Amino acid sequence: MDTASHSTKHVFAFEEGNGKDKKLLGGKGANLCEMTQIGLNVPPGFVISTAACLEYLDSPARALPAGVMDEVRAQMQVLEAKTGKGFGNPEDPLLVSVRSGSAMSMPGMMDTILNLGLNTETLQGLIRQTGDPRFGYDAYRRFIQLFGKVALGVPDELFDHEFEAVKDKAHVKEDIGLSAADLKEISERFLKVVEAHTGAPFPGDPLEQLEIAIKAVFNSWMGKRAVDYRRQFHITPDMAHGTAVNVVTMVFGNRGNDSGTGVAFTRNPGTGENKLFGEYLLNAQGEDVVAGIRTPKPIDRLRDEMPEMARQLDDLRDKLESHYREIQDFEFTIERGQLFCLQTRNGKMNAQAMVRTSVEMEREGLITKEQALLRIAPDLLEQMLFPRLDPKARAEAVAQGLPASPGAASGIAVFDADRAEQMGRELGQKVILVREETKPEDIHGFFASEGILTSRGGKTSHAAVVARGMGKPCVAGAEGIVVDVNRREAYVGETSFREGQVITIDGTTGKVYLGAIPTVEPDFSPELNTLLAWADEVASLEVMANADTPDDARSALKYGAVGIGLARTERMFNDPARLPIVIEMIVADSSEDRQAALDRLLPLQRSDFRELFEVMSPRPVTIRLLDPPIHEFLPDEHQLERELIELRRLAETTRGMVVLSGTMSLIHASDGARRELDAMRRMIDPALVEDAIAKKETMLRKVRVLYETNPMLGHRGVRLGITFPEIYQMQIRAILEAAAECARMGIEVHPQIKVPQVCTAQELKRVKSYVDTIHEEVKQRYGHPVNFKFGTMIEVVRACMRAESLAEVAEFFSFGTNDLTQATFSFSREDAENKFLPLYNQSTILQDNPFEVLDVKGVGKLMKLAVEWGKQTRPDIHVGICGEHGGHPSSIAFCQEAGLDYVSCSAPRVPVARLAAAHAALGAKL
């Protein structure tokens, strides 16, 4: 005989099992051991190890390892001694539950068997113990069915059939209406079902029942459900190998009014308040609480009904928290005045409760600041920063898009930016701007809207980026929606919504709803500020904000940004008041005309920058020179063609009107008639219309000249600054003059100028030459130099490859990972997320969406090379990231590893990034 297996211990009493060894005892078993050993009153029991399971499954005849049943019998005797009851004793029967439990929680495995140990004799003992025949027979028929199904493989339908037959006979609709006699009949019929199906009588010997149950638990590890589950969730043997079996003494909460059952959290999971939170039922079993047959009472009431139990529950709460140092969600049963803890686990809480409990537990000395930070997933903070859909609201989404900017909002649908402005700003309505996709010229519509919905575009599309910057919800790329701007209607499958109809969007999930769904307001609590201050103490990455306007900058400060890492200047160009000047500059045929328009833009830009500097003083403000292709500021070609057709029609009409008024003046010569005709002539001045036509034609010509098949890879960024130097020169002048003006007023400013889309040092040198010349002029004019930095975006693959050369000119690098991801994958950032990326993610060709989670293996590798090579040339070069990944926790951890100095993200994302930066620093320390 194999002596090794004899000497191996397979069965562990709760007092002796190692509560940390989940691999050997399973999660549940280890937890029961730990609870017992810290002095909680857990019903006595023991665990049969996962090693026994693996040995059993390996044995050709599926036999339990030698000695296991001896150990089990010995443990049962210990249970008998502890409880004073006897396993199989008809006078005072000991009953147990049998449960599976592996190192990972796995719903694919065996269900729990309750009341094991019941047979026709012990049943009478149970009835005597409880004084309740109905309860006794109910327990018995449940045991036969569960044991029959999970341990003996009898199909449920066979039991259901008998159950329904008795109900019919008794003319009873609900189970609750069955009498003890009915339940007795059911259990007798169930025994017959088992015998007929298995060919053997239902096992009456409790030890035989136990052995069968143990084997059934072990077998369930290789059951189809469990195998499929492990495959689906990638549970490897390393994570969980085999299941343990937990055998636990049954305790009953339904043995009279000195018994009961309940569930509780050691603190309030909704608010974090340091007070026991939960509910209970007297004279009831756990099932009654779950099934909702009776309404449980709030835990406070227990103080009146059972003061001693309430005191013991407080004691239990203190023990749980001081041991686990985490909020616990636990189950308890009171059996005849004795409190048992059946289960405990870390409590799941909302963000507000997580933050409050982190801060309070640190103050109570339960956890350190580092633990307080690490127990909160940074993304969870979003709940505290944006309105959410009320979790209690039940609503069916009509469409699903990309969750492009978090938060939820309701409002009436409008289909263009002007209308949004009119309804939102002027008429004070709450509106949701619905577009196929948005363009820079829609910006005024963003300001006036509660949220943005587009049917095209990805998470780095214009709509997504701008909405995130403003902290407004956005659902992008909801391709199930067809937007018909002309009819002012959107079609979603069978339904549709028109302008003026209320819709709700949830930018956190990407869902779109018809009608108004209630929302819950965010809560930026004082505890959150405390927690984030601790985060800043440990973080080494600085967190800056992407902010384009003074309002954005103010919100960046509110959220704790240490500077602006990216101000996209195109937002300023799109202000409705100055867009006409920008258009004038673009359509200008000569450089003199262009300069004239730029001269008008200069003071406007200067004041934009001055305001940004003032708000952020003394923090750095990084301004990016113009990036998008300039045709984006012009109207769409088709729109211009349509407008020209209208204008030409109007020109004919006005000519006709002139003829008409001339004719009429000959016929009606009175003064009054003449005055009316003069007014009419002024109104329909054909010269005005001709002028409008000429302007539109010029614009159309320009739009056609500027047309590019692939504008994203086209005439944009620094290419624009080199072909139209006067645009960049105007911006550079505006930055330096604004800084000089601030300095003159005693305001400390740290402007940084950065150049987009650079791929060679020659481009940077060219722009730097503009900067140097203009700086000289500004120095002369203001009488002092301006303290500024000059740097580059790194968003082109060649820029990474030539980093050592770029660093000769650039004092800082700012990774534009939106474009760099696009360039590295050759995936269009506008289309990929709606077309093939979902399938790539589903079929795990790619694990994540690279526009959301930084692709460490590819894009990250390029970044690391660029940092290394850049530092070889300029060791103190300041390096950061300003793509959308700058606000994403795991990407932030990578930035720390890659040696970056800062991350920059949209203002409302700054708190998430601050906590993630702390996690990254703490992770790096481990």
Task: Work out the widest C-alpha separation in the chain, in whole angstroms.
Answer: 131
In the list 795, 830, 852, 884, the residue contacting Mg ion (rule: CB under 5 A) is 795
Query: What is the spatial distance between Cα 630 and Cα 360, in angstroms, rounded to a whole number?
Result: 53
Query: What is the spatial distance between Cα 851 and Cα 888, in angstroms, rounded to a whole number?
Result: 11
Q: Within 13 Å and on the Cβ side, how many CA atoms surround 454?
A: 30
Mode of pairing for the β-strands spanning 277-282 and 297-298: antiparallel
How many residues sit close enough to ligand PEP to count as binding (CB under 6 A)?
12
In the list 421, 819, 833, 855, the residue contacting ligand PEP (rule: CB under 6 A) is 819
Mode of pairing for the β-strands spanning 564-568 and 542-546: parallel
791 lies in the site for ligand PEP, by CB under 6 A: no
| Angle CA 451–456–462, to nearest 5 | 60
Rank residues 362 and 795 by Cβ distance to Mg ion and give the closer one: 795
Residues within window 795-814 making contact with ligand PEP, judged by CB under 6 A:
795
Cβ of 833: how many Cβ atoms within 10 Å? 27
816 lies in the site for Mg ion, by CB under 5 A: yes
Rank residues 557 and 881 by Cβ distance to ligand PEP and give the closer one: 881
818 lies in the site for ligand PEP, by CB under 6 A: yes
Active site residue 462: yes
Query: What is the spatial distance between Cα 291 and Cα 740, in angstroms, rounded to a whole number?
Result: 72
Query: What is the spatial distance between Cα 584 and Cα 607, in angstroms, rounded to a whole number?
Result: 20
Rank residues 497 and 851 by Cβ distance to ligand PEP and give the closer one: 851
Query: 327 contacts which partner out of ligand PEP, Mg ion, none, CB within 5 to 8 A by kind?
Result: none
How many residues sit close enough to Mg ion to count as binding (CB under 5 A)?
3
Query: 465 contacts which partner out of Mg ion, ligand PEP, none, CB within 5 to 8 A by kind?
Result: ligand PEP
350 lies in the site for ligand PEP, by CB under 6 A: no
In the list 819, 830, 833, 884, the residue contacting Mg ion (rule: CB under 5 A) is 819
Query: From the CB of 862, what's the least distance to Mg ion, in Å?
Result: 15
421 lies in the site for ligand PEP, by CB under 6 A: no
Rank residues 527 and 819 by Cβ distance to ligand PEP and give the closer one: 819
Residues within window 860-889 making contact with ligand PEP, judged by CB under 6 A:
882-883
Rank residues 72 and 856 by Cβ distance to ligand PEP and give the closer one: 856
Rank residues 387 and 791 by Cβ distance to ligand PEP and give the closer one: 791
The DSSP secondary-structure symbol of 100 reads E
Query: 374 contacts which partner out of ligand PEP, Mg ion, none, CB within 5 to 8 A by kind?
Result: none
462 lies in the site for ligand PEP, by CB under 6 A: no
In the list 403, 816, 870, 880, the residue contacting ligand PEP (rule: CB under 6 A) is 816
Q: Within 13 Å and on the Cβ side, how many CA atoms surround 703?
A: 17
Active site residue 882: yes
Stretch that binds Mg ion, among 130-138, 629-637, 706-714, 791-799 (CB under 5 A): 791-799
Query: 564 contacts which partner out of ligand PEP, Mg ion, none, CB within 5 to 8 A by kind?
Result: none
548 lies in the site for Mg ion, by CB under 5 A: no
383 lies in the site for ligand PEP, by CB under 6 A: no
Rank residues 220 and 817 by Cβ distance to ligand PEP and give the closer one: 817
Classify the C-alpha dihedral 919-407-838-824 as positive or negative. Answer: negative
Query: From the CB of 571, what's the least distance to ligand PEP, in Å?
Result: 10
Residue 853 in contact with residue 888, Cβ under 8 Å?
yes
830 lies in the site for Mg ion, by CB under 5 A: no
567 lies in the site for ligand PEP, by CB under 6 A: no
Stretch that binds Mg ion, among 352-360, 534-542, 572-580, 815-823 (CB under 5 A): 815-823
Query: What is the spatial distance between Cα 714 and Cα 834, in angstroms, rounded to a whole number?
Result: 23
Query: 817 contacts which partner out of Mg ion, ligand PEP, none, CB within 5 to 8 A by kind?
Result: ligand PEP
Query: What is the spatial distance between Cα 188 and Cα 180, in angstroms, rounded to a whole number?
Result: 12
Residues within window 627-646 making contact with ligand PEP, judged by CB under 6 A:
627
Residues in the chain: 926
465 lies in the site for ligand PEP, by CB under 6 A: yes
Rank residues 453 and 566 by Cβ distance to ligand PEP and give the closer one: 566
**Chain centroid, CA 358 distance in Å:** 20
Query: From the CB of 710, what's the least distance to ligand PEP, in Å?
Result: 15
Rank residues 795 and 884 by Cβ distance to Mg ion and give the closer one: 795
In the list 817, 824, 891, 906, the residue contacting ligand PEP (rule: CB under 6 A) is 817
Residue among 462, 878, 885, 888 flagged as catalytic:
462
Query: 342 contacts which partner out of Mg ion, ligand PEP, none, CB within 5 to 8 A by kind?
Result: none
Nearest residue to 25 via CA among 324, 247, 251: 247
Residue 696: partners with Cβ closer than 8 Å, 6 or more residues away: 640, 643, 644, 647
Rank residues 318 and 708 by Cβ distance to Mg ion and give the closer one: 708
Query: From the CB of 761, what's the least distance to ligand PEP, in Å?
Result: 20
Mode of pairing for the β-strands spanning 902-906 and 542-546: parallel
115 lies in the site for ligand PEP, by CB under 6 A: no
**Chain centroid, CA 371 distance in Å:** 22
Q: Which x/- pattern over 295-314 shows residues binding Mg ion (rule: CB under 5 A)?
A: --------------------
Query: From the CB of 853, what's the least distance to Mg ion, in Å?
Result: 18
Could you tell me the two tokens for 747? 């305001």
Environment class of 509 (CB within 10 Å of its CB; exposed 0-12, middle 13-18, buried 19+): middle
921 lies in the site for ligand PEP, by CB under 6 A: no
Query: 568 contacts which partner out of ligand PEP, Mg ion, none, CB within 5 to 8 A by kind?
Result: ligand PEP
Rank residues 186 and 823 by Cβ distance to ligand PEP and give the closer one: 823
Mode of pairing for the β-strands spanning 502-506 and 408-414: antiparallel
Query: From the CB of 460, what's the least distance to ligand PEP, in Å?
Result: 6
Mode of pairing for the β-strands spanning 408-414 and 431-435: parallel
Stretch that binds Mg ion, among 316-324, 335-343, 418-426, 810-818 (CB under 5 A): 810-818
Query: What is the spatial distance between Cα 613 and Cα 553, in angstroms, rounded to a whole number?
Result: 9
Residue with tokens 């920059």: 904
Query: What is the spatial distance between Cα 106 and Cα 228, in angstroms, rounded to a whole number?
Result: 11
In the list 568, 571, 631, 878, the residue contacting ligand PEP (rule: CB under 6 A) is 568
Query: From the CB of 795, what's the least distance to ligand PEP, in Å?
Result: 5
Residue among 742, 800, 882, 905 flagged as catalytic:
882
Rank residues 285 and 817 by Cβ distance to ligand PEP and give the closer one: 817
Question: Phi and psi (nearest 5°) for 711?
Answer: -60, -30
DSSP string, 770-836: HHHHHHHHHHHHHSS----EEEEEE-SHHHHHTHHHHHHH-SEEEE-HHHHHHHHHT--TTTTTTTT
Query: From the CB of 906, what's the least distance to ligand PEP, in Å?
Result: 11
Query: What is the spatial distance between Cα 412 and Cα 424, in angstroms, rounded to a whole number?
Result: 9
Stretch that binds ligand PEP, among 318-326, 597-605, 815-823, 854-862 (CB under 6 A): 815-823
Residue 698 in contact with residue 689, Cβ under 8 Å?
no
Rank residues 94 and 466 by Cβ distance to ligand PEP and give the closer one: 466
Across 17-46, b (16+ Cβ under 10 Å) vs e yields bebebbbbbbbbbbbbbbbbbeebbbbbbb
DSSP string, 878-912: EEEE-SGGGG-HHHHHHHHHTT-SEEEEEGGGHHH
Residue 359: partners with Cβ closer than 8 Å, 6 or more residues away: 372, 527, 530, 531
Query: From the CB of 465, what's the least distance to ligand PEP, in Å?
Result: 6
Nearest residue to 327 via CA among 350, 304, 302, 294: 350
Could you tell me the two tokens for 303? 């103080």
* Site for ligand PEP, rule CB under 6 A: 460, 465, 566, 568, 627, 795, 816-819, 882-883
* Site for Mg ion, rule CB under 5 A: 795, 816, 819
Residues noted as catalytic? 462, 882
